Structure 1
Amino acid sequence: MSAPERTAGAGPLTALGLFSVLPVPAGARNPGPGVLRWLPVVGLVLGALACLPGLAVWRGAGEGSPLLAAALVVTALALLTRGLHLDATADLADGLGSGRPAEQALAIMRRPEVGAFAVAAVACTLLVQVAATATVLGQATPAEGVLAVVLATVTGRTAVLHAAARPAAPGSSLGVLVTGSGSPVARWAATAVLLAAAVAARLTVGGTTAEAMWSAAAVVVALLGAALLARHAARRLGGVNGDVFGAVVETASTATLVVLAAGVTWT
């Protein structure tokens, strides 16, 4: 066994170091098989941290600006992840939008240039995220607002566990990340825990049964939407890669917020 293999890690610190800007010990920077399974934990941490700047300008109950708070939350998430998932969304949009065969589409995704599809995808994603978050915060207490953001970030990363069950695209370097992440038991256990936590947490912070069901619906709709994206991307590209993963995170997170915003409107 080589030195890199001996020191490879697959714990939460390794996942935080790989998928965020948060500092971790040097020994936790070498990802090993199964590191993706900790992505929901990364989402929990990042969602909670991203809410801090928003709470500086919004306190719930009509105090402060929910729109400014939403913009700060979305900005904080982009900074905490180095814009990793937004960049992946842009690359995937250019690749799929090109309509080219898999090999050419993958080559387009690797280019540093940003095309029209990328600009539109990122702009729309950020716009919808801010608008949906502002809608939720406009009717929420601080606890409810934080819960909504955390639910979105955890759901986005749980969706990656399902996408990781697909084969890697040609030329993808995510082999070590995919290995050990495709266990059906682990995927569906994480999903079940997420659904139960979404309902229980909503009730705990004072939500009604109807509001708790909207939280569960947000998780289901987001995971389904992300699964459709991953399926389409895998069919077009011959498998999944890091760009697909990043786009899945943004898609599922955005869908979660949109359904939660719909719940505010209809309950």
Structure 2
Amino acid sequence: MTTSGLRLAVGTFTRIPSGRVDTSPASARSALLLAPVAVLPLAVLAGLVAALVELRLPPLVAAGLALVVLAHGSRGMHLDGLADVVDGLGASAAGRARALEVMRRGDVGPMGAIALVLVLLLQAAALADLLRHGWPGGLLFAVAVLLSRAVPAVVCAHGTPAAEGSRLGAAFVGTVPPFAATCLFMTLTIALAAAGLVHGLAAPVVTVLAALAALVAALWLRRQVIRGLGGVGGDAIGAAVEVALTVTLVCLTVAW
């Protein structure tokens, strides 16, 4: 782990200014492994906003505000990546070149817009359900955010091809040893299970299953992106974060 890697992680995964950054493979690897650390202040803030239900703020309102904080703190880039990936995969039937062209445009197509609406709707509904139980739901949400930021390391593991023309893809993809990525994700899975203990002894089992479901969903998305777009780029990394967070929150409602 390097200081330059942490600065790169902060500048990539949050809107906090980080100054000049080094995008060497070593720094990129460190940045991906330190992504949850870089996002920790944002996750805590979003969790505290969600916990405003303790002040009798309606759960759905608190959930919406927490998601606003999260989107603002990350510059909305993960949501933007999700929309671009969905549009690109939708256009991949016309060829890879056409799909990449669609993704490089600044606008959001109908498929991307629908994906954004549905994902945010699921996140808000699931978080609101968790917040019916008060501040423990906010705690679980904060840890789920950190877990989702461990997904990029998995998506960018050794052997993963980078998307053509993607600067983030060229810098990050293929830099992380699979063992390190797995250890990072399992560490955050354990943290999620520990947060679930607040709810009861049975909750950690479901939290672990929720984390594994999120991992499977992210790996499935990586496979689709490689098949349809030729490799993983910055948009796919952001999309994997949003998919993982959504799956985790939805699955957690089963135990909560």
Assess same fold via TM > 0.5: yes
* Aligned counterpart for 1:45 among listed residues 41, 48, 61: 41
Report what 1:215 is aligned to.
Answer: 207
Count of residues paired in the alignment? 247
Which structure 1 residue ranges, 4+ long, deviate > 6 Å from structure 2? Answer: none
Report what 1:122 is aligned to.
Answer: 116
Residues 93-149 of structure 1 show CA distances to partners (whole Å, capped at 9, x for unaligned) of 11111222112101110011221001101111111110000000012x31x123221
Amino acid at match of 1:220: L
Larger radius of gyration: 1
Shift of 1:49: 1.5
Report what 2:61 is aligned to.
Answer: 68
State whether residues 173 and 233 of structure 2, in contact with CA within 8 Å, keep that contact through their aligned partners in structure 1: no
Q: Any unmatched runs of 5+ in structure 1?
A: 1-6
Report what 2:228 is aligned to.
Answer: 236
Shift of 1:199: 1.9
Cα RMSD (Å): 1.9
Shift of 1:239: 0.8
State whether residues 88 and 103 of structure 2, in contact with CA within 8 Å, keep that contact through their aligned partners in structure 1: yes
Residues 145-180 of structure 1 show CA distances to partners (whole Å, capped at 9, x for unaligned) of 232212321221212111112110122212222353
Amino acid at match of 1:109: M
1:1-267 → structure 2 map (5 Å cutoff): 9-11=4-6, 13-24=7-18, 26-27=19-20, 29-31=21-23, 32-34=27-29, 35-55=31-51, 57-59=52-54, 63-98=56-91, 99-139=93-133, 141-142=134-135, 144-165=136-157, 166-174=160-168, 175-178=170-173, 180-181=175-176, 183-203=177-197, 206-264=198-256
Q: Any unmatched runs of 5+ in structure 2?
A: none
Shift of 1:8: 8.9
Report what 1:4 is aligned to.
Answer: none
State whether residues 8 and 28 of structure 2, in contact with CA within 8 Å, keep that contact through their aligned partners in structure 1: no
- 2: distance between equivalents of 1:72 and 1:37? 28
- Higher mean displacement: 216-225 or 155-164: 155-164
